[in-house]
Every structure is written in C-alpha cells, then in structure tokens.
Structure 1
Amino acid sequence: MNSLKHNQAVDELNSSDPAVRVKALRFIKNNIIGNKTKKDLYIQLNVIPKLVKFLKSKDTVDSQVQIQAAIVLGSFAYGGEENVTEIAKHDAIKPLLECISLQNDPRLIEAAARALKAIYKCPTADKNDIFADHHLRDLITLLNPDSLHPKTDRERIASVHTAELAATIIARCCDTNEQQIQIASAGAFPALVKLLTCGFSKAQEAALDALAYLCRENPEFGKAIVETKSETSDSPVKIMLNLIQDKSSTMRLIAAKCLTHLSRANAIGEYSNDITLIVLPTLVKLLDEKGPVREEAPHVLAYLIRDNEELQKAACDSDAVPKLADFVTHVVDQESSYYDPVGDGDKLKENALMALAAISSLTDDGRKLVVEAKIIPHIVAAMSHRSYGIRAAACQCTRSLSRSINILRTSLVDAGVATPLFKLLSDESTDVQATACATLCNLVLDFSPMKKTIMELGGIEKLVELVRSPDNTLRLNAIWALKNLVYQAESDVKEAVMKVLTYQTMENLISDQEIVEVQEQALNLLRNLACTKPIVSLLRCCSLITT
C-alpha cells in the first residue's frame, strides 16, 4: 500500500489553516469508511490523539474541523472492539460527550452522538462517563427534537435523527439497575414516550428499544412506563400494539421486544391476551424474515415464553419449532462480524437453540416436537461449536429435554450426549461450564442410563473440583449435581464422593458466605448421603449441620 498520501493527510492535520485541516479530515474519512485496512493504517499513524485534541480545543479550533473529527472518530468506532479500545485509550469519550451540549453547533452534536452510538455498541465500552456531570441530562434533552430549535424541514429531520441517536445511546447504557434508576430519574420516560409518536420510524424504533431496556427485569419501571401519558392521550401500550402492526419488520420486532419486556416485568397483566394473540404470533412470523430481524426474533421469543407454560404451548401451536429447528440444522456457520448488515449465522443458531430450550422447558408437547424435528444429533454436535454461546445454548436445550425421563433414556442416550457434555465441564468459558453442570444434574440421577458413563469419565472428581470454583453459579450447580449423584445411590458411590470431597469441604460449603443457595444444596447433599445406605453416622451428620 502506498502510504505517502496517507502520511501527508495526517501531517496536514498540524496545519494552522482550518481549510487544510478540514480537507485532510475529509480525505481520511473517505478512505476509512468501510475499509478496515485503512482504519488500521491511520491508527498506526497515530491519528486518533490528533482528533481528540481537536474536540478538546473548543475555543481555538474551527467548528468544521471538530465536526469532521467527530465523524472520523465514529467511523473508527465502527471498525470493531479493538478500535473502540484504542479510542477509549486516548480518552475520546469525554470530549465527545462534551460535544453533545446544546451550546454547540447542531451538526457537531449529531456527529458526536453518532460516534458515541458506535462506541457504546461495543459491549466492553466503559459507560461511566455518561452518568457524570451534565452528560445524561444533555442526552435526555436531545430526545426532544424541538430542543435544537429547527427552523427548516431539513433541520427538523436532522434534529429527529439526533433524538434517535440519543435514544440509542440510552438503550445501550441500561446494563444495571443503578443505571436504569439514574436514566429514569433524569426524566427519560416522558421524553421517550413522546418520541414514540413523532412520526419518524427510526426514532420510534430507538425509543422503543430504550424503553425495553429501561424496564427489563424491573417491575417498578415497567409500571411507570405504562402509566406515562402520551401527547395523543393513548397509553404507551396501545401505541406499541399499533406499532407492532407496522409494515417495517424492524419496527414490529422492537415493538414486540418492548411489550415482551413489559410483560416479563409484570406491568401489563391486563394485556395478557394481546401477548398471546399478537406479540407471540408476530415473533414467530418474524422468523421468516432475513438478516438481523430474523437473528434477534428467536432471542425475544425465548425471553417471552421462558417460565410460562401457557405461552410455550402457544408457541408449539404456532409451528415455531420447525422454523427454529431449520436454523439449527441448515444455517451455515460463519465467523461473527462486529457490524454485519446481513446478520450473524452463529448468533442466529445460538438464539434458535435458546428458543427451543425455552419451548421445551416446561411441556412434554414442546419436547416431543423437538425430538420429532430430528435435531438432537445437531444439538449434541453444537456442544463442540467454536462459539461459546452456541455451546451454552446446546447445553440449555439438552437440559430442557432431559426433564423427560423417556427422552433421557432414549433419544439423548442414542445421540451420545454424555461424553461431549462432560467435556464442557472443562470449557474455557465459565458460563458454558455452569450451564453444562446444570444440565448434568439430570443425567446423574439414579434412573439415568448415563450416570455410569459420567462416573467412568471422572465425573465425581470433576464435580468436586468445580465445587471449589470461585464462581458462585458454577459452585452451586456443581454441588447440585453431586446432590443428585448420591440420591438413593449405593454406598460405594457415596464413599467415592466423600473420599474426594472430604468432610472439611462439606463443612465449608454448609457455612458458605457467598450465596445461601450453596448452603441449602450442601445440606441437601448431606441429607442424601445420610439416607438409605449412609456412610456417615447420624452423630457426624448432626455435627456437620451445627458447624
């Protein structure tokens, strides 16, 4: 690659002439858009610190230079997680947040907001700066397009687009309950509900997405959103039910997602029929779409029907299983792309497996349909997939299926699930280990034909090793599996467990300070050891219980 002209463009950023700087920035921008190689080159030429310096020097740098610098930073951020890390390393986030102040040129506000949207798409991006100083307040203000005082139709469209960007940023900063509280306290609900009726589909989609994340697993905020008054006097839920019938598949998906989160937050109990008759069928139909919509629809469907037997039966009746099974068997594996406009095959397969796990978690009808779809061999094969998400989802699917004794003794045995599942207890991902361990709980019960295989593979030693894990979930699942392993077991099995586990470890588990469920399962393990054919005396049991 001839890098002379690129070196020259970077050198021209040092010019005192704003016109020269703008020309160089536009040259860089045009070269790096959609070109990872050129982005890497300019990062190596150390251009990012120069861009950050322009944003920090508000009083001495031409506004056009700042606008172009923000645009270029945004383009770098769309290059992947490594680029976002590089941007953060040079402290670019704070200057970008300063640029969204209403005191600045609306074009600079939009460019900075676009860059922040790209940065916060990265799951590892530090979001603490959003909640410092006045930045959150500025974002909430930008949700109102009138805050930028547009005078022409073109300015009006630009201000609505800025509101869309602000809503998207907010949606990506709701990871914790504390973040939800801070955003809600800043007045997000009325502004986002108002944006639902703005008439611009992309802004409405962004508002729905933000509301969905603000009420996720949060009943209090779910009810607050439902009770927020709109400018049209319609309730937010009715607005969402209208939007779920939109011609845009993206709009239908995000409206379904928001209603799903409200339903899971127990905020719209009076709309239960609409959830069953409108939201669920919409999600199943979206499985026929292409790209990112099809990719996310199974994920939302899985969340909607989880722990709800009635909705799982409705999903079975809607022919969701054959569609999801087709994704597992026929979607071509691909390396995941950070920003892939046509979707991610690996993510689609993972989400499909999670949806199948949800459908078959509580009902025999769901499990029967999964077996009839002839995908159990594909589920077992997915346990060796390069994607840890797919491996974990395959375990979760197996866990749901293993709740049927008949399937456990036939289909799962025939597919040879024990060995690949056992290997996942040593997976590089703690999440996969924990899910595999939870799945193993059903496979080590006394009536399971796979119990002997797992023990011969070294199951006792491995589970005892995991009992000592610093990860709470993994530790809990491991002791749960040991509890099931010794339930109504012969004395030699109990002796083998205690030989590896030791009394001291048992005492430590019973007095575990991290999580009370570990103590509970440790006591259950002790009970199962003592019952039927005990290897420990009742006196010893009593001393352990009172330790």
Structure 2
Amino acid sequence: MFEMMMMDTGLGHVYVENLNVSDAQQLLCNLKQMKNVVIGSSRQKTNLMLCGAVPRLLQIMTTDNTPSEILVECGVLLGSFAKGNEANKRELMEDGVLAIMMQGLAHSNLKFVESCLRFLRTMLTSPIAPTEILFQDNTVIPHMIQLLPRSPCTQECVASILANSCKTPDQQEMMFRHGAIQALSPLLTSNSDKIRLPALQCFAAISYQNKPISMAIASAMYNGESIPELFCKLMARNNTIIMQLTSAKCLAYLCRAGAIRPADNMIVIRAMPTLVQMCKKDRSVEERVDGAEVLAYLIEEDVSLQRTAAITDHLVLTLAGFIKYTPDSSHKKEQAEHLINEMRQAAFKVYASLGANEEDIRKRIIETETLMDQVEKYLSSPTVKVQLASVRCLHSLSRSVQQLRTSFQDHAVWKPLMKLLQSEQPEELLTVASSTLCNLLLEFSPSKEPIVDAGAVELLCKLTSSPSSALRLNGIWGLMNMAFQAEQKIKSSILATLGTDQLFRLLTDTNVDILMKTLGLLRNLLSTKPHIDSIMSSHSKQIMTAVIMILEDDHPPEVKEQTLCILANIADGNTAKDFIMSNEDILKKLTYYMRHENVRLQIAAVYCINNLVWNEEEGAGDRRAKLKEYGVQKHLQSLLSSSDTVLFDKVKTALQQFSS
C-alpha cells in the first residue's frame, strides 16, 4: 500500500507539472487528463491536492484572458476535489477557493458559471460550510437570484445553496428584498424533482419564524395559482416522500407565522395528516424524525390542531414506538445511538406540543405504557437534545392539576429535575427545567414538600441573580409558588436566603413579568396575620420603601394594583397596620389611588382602607379618625356614584365601618 501511494504521489506531481505549459490547447488536454484521473477516486483527489494541484488551478483561473474552455475544466476539477473527504474540503477553504468561485459567478460563460455553482453547492451544503460567506458581500445574493432562470443547472444549484445557507432573519430579509419569492416560484412547477425540491427547501428556509416573508409567500401567485396551492400539489402521494414532507413543512411554517389560519383545509386536511403519516413505521428514521419535529412545531400553540392531531391515525401510540425504537444490526454503534436519540427527542417534542393545553390529551399521553418512566429516565440523558425534549414533555404534562396530584406522585421526577438544575447546563434547558419546577411547587402538588426539603429555596434564589431574564423570572415565580399558603419557617427562609438587597434589585428589574412575580412573592409572604406581623417587624423599612417607590414610578396599572394589594395585606395584620398609619406618604398614596381613573386601582385602594378601619379590630377608632383627617371618608362618599358593582360594594362596606 505504501509503494502504491508513493507511485500515485509521483504520478500526481507529473500531472500537476503538466499544468505549467503555456500552450492553451495542450493545457486544456492536460486538464482533461487530470479530470479523468480524479473523477470517482477519493484517493487520487487527495494525492493531487497533496501535490499542489489546487494553487496551480487557482493561478490559471486568476490569470487575465484565460480561455473559457480552460476555466470550465478548472471549475470542474475543483468541483471534483470538493466531493472528496472532509479534509479536502477544509484545504479548499483554507486555499481561498470559495471566494474565487464566487467571483466566477459573474463570468459571461454559462458553463463556467455552472461549474462554479456546482463547486459552491458541494461546499456550502457540507456540515463544515461557512455559509455566512455568501451574505458578507452584498452583491452575491442578488446575483445568484438573477442566475436562477438561466438553466436547469443554475436553478438546481442556486436553490440548493440558498436553502442551506439562509439561517438568520437578516439573511431571510436579504433574499426576500432581492426577489427570491418571484424567482423561486416558477421552479415549483418544474418537471424535475432536482429543481422542485431545493426550491421548496428554499421557501421553508426564508419563511421559518418570519411573519412578513410568510405573509408575502402566502399571497404570492404564479400562473394563476397561489404559492400555498402549489405546495399542496407537491404533497400529492405520487410525489416522493421528501417532496411531500418538505411541502408540508412549508405550509406548517406559514401557519405558525400567521400567514395561513390553523383551521384552513390546507393545514387540517393536507399538511397535518401528511406529517402524521411521516411518523409511521414504514418511513425511514430521518423521515419519521423530520415529520415529527415539524408536526410538533405546527401544533405547539394551537389547541384545535392539538385536538385534531391527538385523534389522527393513532399518533399517541405511534410516538410510543419512537421511544422504543431499536436500529437493525447493520448500523455501527455510534450511528445506532444517534438514530435512537433522534427518535426519542422527536417523540418527546410531539408529546410536549400535544399536551400543552388539553387535560384529556395529557391523560392519554401519561396513560401510554411506561411513558412517565421514560420521561423520568431521559431527564438524565447525556444527550442534550433528548434531555431538553424530555423536560419539555414533562413541562407540558406538569400543567395538569389532576396529573400533579396522581401520576407525578407515583414518579419522583423532581429528583432528576433538581439534579439537572444544580449542574452546568445550556440556558434553554435550565429555562424549561425551572419552568417545570415552578409547576411542581404549586400548593396542591405532592412534590412540593420534598422539593423544598431538597434545597429548592437556595436553588431558586440563585436563579433570581441570573443574567438571563427567563431564569430570573422562573426563580422568582418558583419562590412565589412556594410561598403561597406556606408555613412561617419557609417564608422566613425565602426572605433570609433572597435578602432584601436582591428583593430590591428584582423590584427594579426592567422586565415587567419579573416585577409582577416579585410583587406576587411579597403578597404571598405577607398573608395570614401572624406571618404579616412577623415579617413587617423585621423588614418594614425595606418593604414600605419598595411600595412607595413602585407607586410613585411610571408602571403599568397591573403593577400598581398588585402593590396596593400588598398594602391591603399589610393592613390586615394586627401590629403591621401601624406601619401604614404612621407613614404619611403611604396615606397620601391611598387617597390618590381612591380617586384614580382606573377602577381596579380604586378597588385595591378601598380594599386596603377597609382592612385599616375594620371595627372589630383594636385601635380601629383612632385609625378612622386619622383617615378622616386625610379626607378618606369624603372620598368614599363620592365613590358611591360609581357604576362598577365591585367598587360600589367595597365602598359601601368601608363607609359602614366609618358610621358605626
């Protein structure tokens, strides 16, 4: 073998040396000889590249006035080298061939342009491809789109390149701005699958999670038919499986972007059944996984589609087969493990989408044989994709009150969940896992107590300091759930671990949801009289400062309403009332919000007044007298004319306390 390689390398040097001739005809002949040697032989591609063929070819191509025939042969040879192994591709990139071939697209000779496109397609559809290179020069994309109608080869190659390269909203926008929809539309009616398929893939790439472009595609026409109608035609059973699947994917993306209604027959009768069909056993693993993932994405946010999918063609049971999938013995160990993981994560994704809203569907999923055991097991999967999908599935199922009380009690899913949250993980995984933990900490969940005992307070308090707003939100949300109707020791533990400095930071967070949940936590901490008095005795200064700060700042009405409700809770304490009554700022705020134009804020303010003047409580007379000085009774009387029944009832009750 060593001698053979030496001989091949020796011959390789001869072939490369033969490219140094000055006679154009001889050079053309030598290039063709080299082409005949490398086509179909990965070893010879490598040998000739080792012998310096690539720099010499580039030198020929970049020399002025090189004849077109020679340029074409150089382009074909480089295209052949690109079809070698990964190392060949890396070397071609290092040698700067991509940039030169992109420049070649502007040449007047179509055959040379086609050879450049074939090279670029091979390179840019490779997993190691630097696809962003196409978008770095503003002239490349518009030129490629202009090349589309030139020939079947340009249609096939350009569509493939663009479909594989378009990955960001900016890239989608650039393609759209330069007329991609109009240029790609005729390709959908081509007689060649090699052209129709990459055109479909291109439509999928530019429409994914992009509402304006999806709307433009949905309203575009070609030959009197809308583009979505053409997608439907390509879903016909006489087309290849990959064609049907990609067409359904295009429609799913348009639907999720709001360009097609979920109730449209194109979705309900065509796309969704096609995607469910793709999940069947007679499809390849790749088709089943792709079909399931697109289906999960399509139905993720629409209840009616979830209901329809759940009763379509035994989907719930079909997905159970994904989790039990075992590849045949022809696969190598690494490849077999990859396929198993792909199947598992695809199944969990669909289950997560199916169970997002409907109690009945969640029940059917959980009742699928050993599913909860599988979810619990794969929360600890070493493969992040599988782990994330199983957590998503668990998150969906944990939205069920009934299941939290039953199935979740039988399976200690909180253990691997807590372990996951206490380790270094990608942000997306931590976000879904902490959302799930929030559900498991709801008051009626049997898992709540063991989770608290396992260190949930420290874990959630730590999350509230995360740079990620999603993790901060889940941290404070979990603490809020934990504090609801909790024992005094849990509330004290939350306050002590979180600390008042961090509480203030959360109350000044720019994310309104975080602010609302922090106020929700305070409201839950300040509930039941002994707890209110105890917390206010040690934290009154900080809490009252926070309340004033929020009521004075420019916040949405729902934030101020929640803050006034906290005041109402404080007013319900025995001794805590004094912290309101001795604070002139707070009393002025209460009278201000009683007169506010927002009825909900008026109701919350009057609710607080009610708690302060309640007759049966000690010191009520003195408090009434002081509040009269602030004009509270007069304000209440003026509110009797309110048309809002809730406000009227609260005002009436408060006035009764003043008059008794």
Q: Is 1:409–1:448's contact at 8 Å kept on the other side of the alignment?
A: yes
CA deviations over 1:300-321 (Å, ceiling 9, x no partner): 1001111111111111111211
AA of the residue aligned to 1:100: L
TM-score between both structures, scaled by the size of structure 2: 0.71
1:359 and 2:357 correspond: no
Does 2:333 align with 1:330? no
Whole-angstrom distance in 2 between the partners of 1:86 and 1:454:
54
Q: Which has the larger radius of gyration?
A: 2
Query: Which residue of 1 is the match for residue 446 of structure 2?
Result: 449
Whether contact under 8 Å (1:292, 1:343) holds in the other structure is: no
In the TM superposition, 1:289-438 aligns within 5 A as 289-318=283-312, 319-332=314-327, 344-374=339-369, 375-425=371-421, 426-438=423-435
Indicate which of 138, 156, 160 corresponds to 2:152: 160
Q: Distance in 2 between matches of 1:28 and 1:483?
A: 68
In the alignment, the residues of structure 2 paired with residue 49 and residue 480 of structure 1 have an alpha-carbon distance, to the nearest angstrom, of: 61
After TM superposition, give the deviation of residue 443 of structure 1 in Å. 1.2
* CA pair 114-64 structure 1, distance change in 2 beyond 3 A: closer
Instruction: Compute the displacement of 1:403 (Å).
Output: 1.1
Q: Which has the higher contact order (CA 8 A, sep 6+)?
A: 1
> How much has 1:364 moved relative to structure 2?
1.6
Task: Choose from 451, 456, 459 the match for 2:456.
Answer: 459
**Does the CA contact (< 8 Å) of 1:360 and 1:401 recur in 2?**
yes
Distance 1:185 1:280 in 2: 30
Residues 313 and 365 in structure 1, CA contact (< 8 A), matched pair in contact too: no
Alpha carbons of structure 1 residues 233 and 444: separation in structure 2 relative to 1, 3 Å: same
Residues 541, 297 of structure 1: alpha-carbon distance in 2 compared, 3 angstrom cutoff = same
SS of the equivalent of 1:330 reads coil
Q: How does 1:12-27 map to 2 (within 5 A)?
A: 12-13=15-16, 15-17=19-21, 18=27, 23=33, 27=37
Q: Is the 8 A contact 1:244 1:255 kept in 2?
A: yes
Q: Structure 1 residues 322 and 179, CA, compared in 2 at 3 Å: closer, same or farther?
A: same
1:541 counterpart letter in structure 2: I
Percent identity between the aligned chains?
26
Q: What residue in structure 2 maps to residue 151 of structure 1?
A: none
Q: How does 1:90-239 map to 2 (within 5 A)?
A: 90-101=95-106, 103-106=108-111, 109-110=114-115, 112-116=117-121, 118-122=123-127, 125-144=130-149, 147=150, 159-230=151-222, 232-239=223-230
- 8 Å CA contact 1:55–1:96 kept in 2: the answer is no
Q: What is the identity, as a one-letter code, of the residue corresponding to 2:195?
A: A
Task: Mark the CA change 1:459 to 1:267 in structure 2 (over 3 Å): closer, same or farther.
Answer: same
Please state how far the C-alpha of 1:437 moved relative to its aligned partner: 1.5
- Structure 1, 126-135 or 279-288: larger mean CA deviation: 126-135
1:155 corresponds to = none
- Cα distance change on mapping 1:226 and 1:424 into 2, 3 Å: same
Q: Cα gap change, 1:500/1:229 in structure 2, threshold over 3 Å: closer, same or farther?
A: same
Cα displacement (A) at 1:206: 1.5
2:164 aligned partner, one-letter code = R
Q: Distance in 1 between the 2:541 and 2:477 partners?
A: 24
Distance 1:505 1:210, change over 3 A: same
Q: Residues 219, 350 of structure 1: CA spacing in aligned structure 2 closer, same or farther, 3 A cutoff?
A: same
1:267 aligns with 2:263: no
Amino acid corresponding to residue 203 of structure 1 in structure 2 = I
Shift of 1:371: 1.5
Distance 2:396 2:20 in 1: 66
CA displacement, residues 304-344 of structure 1 (integer Å, 9 cap, x when unaligned): 1111111111111112111111101224598776xx9x994
| Contact 2:262–2:302 (Cα < 8 Å) also in 1 | no
**Residue equivalent to 1:150:** none
Distance 1:270 1:435 in 2: 26
| Contact 1:334/1:344 (<8 A) preserved | no
- Cα separation, 2, equivalents of 1:48 and 1:336: 34
Partner of residue 470, structure 2: 473
CA distance in 2: counterparts of 1:399 and 1:439, whole angstroms: 5
The 3-state SS of whatever aligns with 1:269 is coil
Change (3 A) 1:438 1:122: farther
Over the aligned positions, Cα root-mean-square deviation in angstroms equals 3.3
Q: Alignment partner for residue 278 of structure 2, among 242, 261, 286?
A: 286
Alignment CA distance shift 1:272-1:24 (3 Å): same
Can you give the 5+ residue segments of structure 2 that lack an aligned partner in the other structure? 22-26, 551-660
Q: Post-superposition shift, 1:25?
A: 6.2
In structure 1, stretches of 5+ residues that fail to align are 148-158
Residues 465, 134 of structure 1: alpha-carbon distance in 2 compared, 3 angstrom cutoff: same
Could you tell me how far 1:181 is from its partner in structure 2? 1.3
Distance (whole Å) between structure 1 residues aligned to residue 88 and residue 506 of structure 2 = 44
Which residue identity does 1:293 align to in structure 2? E
| Matched letter for residue 263 of structure 1 | C
User: What CA distance in whole angstroms lies between the structure 2 residues aligned with 1:429 and 1:335?
Assistant: 27
Q: CA deviation at 1:447?
A: 1.8
Q: Secondary structure at the match of 1:465?
A: helix
Partner-residue secondary structure (3-state), 1:353: helix
- How far, CA to CA, are the matches of 1:491 and 1:433 in structure 2? 29
- Offset, 1:479: 3.1
Structure 1 pair 279–386 and aligned structure 2 pair: CA distance change class (3 A): same
Cα distance in 2 for residues equivalent to 1:124 and 1:63 = 23
